[in-house]
Amino acid sequence: MMLQTESVRMGYGERTVVRELTLEIPQGGFSVIVGPNGCGKSTVLRTLGRMLRPQAGRVLIDARDIRSLRTREVARRIGLLPQSPHAPDGVTVADLVGRGRYPHQRIWRQWSREDERIVAQSLEEVGLLDCADRAVSELSGGQRQRAWIAMALAQQTPILLLDEPTTYLDIAHQISVLDLCSTLHEQGRTLVMVLHDLNMAARYATHVIAMRDGGIIRQGRPEDVFTETMLRDVFDLDASILKDPNNGRPLIVPKDRRNQ
């Protein structure tokens, strides 16, 4: 399933954030968008997931304008985890994750054993099976974030868009969520994720998209994108690039500006 944009202008009301974006998301790739706060990463992700209507241009899925598809058809193809999702009061973890199954249900085929199994499996994958009956509002920030990830997993879409899925997670849960995403990628799903942790991006991505001020500055393999020049151009950051001894991926070490 191919996802691409054609000269898309994005923004809110009168305001334009992304002037013109033509982008092809590598099919079956693990793409990671990086860039400073406010550069338009979430705006791009929302537009790809049809949460935001382009001001101009088109988003195409398998060469069809995404606007020509019904909501349910989009939801069966694209799962989107927004940056700060809100659950209605009183919703339990199992209810929330179960919502990921709605696009798969029909009036004559209500909630099934299969749905039940997929909800339990998704909770298990994020380590939240024990919390299934708790209210989402009573979870810790990291547990809540994992509940939302489970909901996106339960949707079982070929394309997953995840906006900062690891922000509230401790380091072990970050790794476990990203390992899980990596397994999904190996199984053939297309992932697009926004991450602030450049070392995690370098470690997991097959394709990195570096943005600044609403435009793409560079994209490609992590070893080609993460250079000292790019870090200066995109983040105004002085950093050294080392090689991760475990996997050969770039390791970004910001220079210490104190005592200089």
Residue 83 binds to Mg ion (criterion: CB under 5 A):
yes
Residue 37: which of Mg ion, ligand ATP, none does it interact with, CB under 5 to 8 A by kind? Answer: ligand ATP
Residue least distant from Mg ion (Cβ): 42
Q: Is 43 in the site for ligand ATP (CB under 6 A)?
A: yes
DSSP-assigned beta bridge partners for residue 239: 254
Q: Does 161 bind ligand ATP (CB under 6 A)?
A: no
Using the minimum distance from each CB to Mg ion, give the nearer residue, 83 or 176.
Answer: 83
Name the 3-class secondary structure at 73. helix
**Does an H or E element contain 152, and which?**
helix 141-154
Query: Which residue, among 150, 152, 157, has the nearest Cα to 132 in the 3D structure?
Result: 150
Q: How far is the CB of 46 from ligand ATP (least distance, A)?
A: 8
Range list of β-strands (E), 56-134 = 56-61, 64-65, 78-81
Contact status: 260 vs ligand ATP (CB under 6 A):
no
Spatial separation of the C-alpha atoms in residues 201 and 244, rounded to whole Å? 13
What is the C-alpha separation between 232 and 31, in angstroms, rounded? 21
- Per CB under 6 A, 201 contacts ligand ATP: no
CB-wise, 37 or 259, nearer to Mg ion? 37
The span from the CA of 210 to the CA of 212, in Å, is 7
Q: Exactly one of 8, 34, 40, 125 binds ligand ATP (CB under 6 A); which one?
A: 40
What is the contact surface with ligand ATP in residues (CB under 6 A)? 12, 15, 17, 35, 37-43, 83
What is the contact surface with Mg ion in residues (CB under 5 A)? 41-42, 83
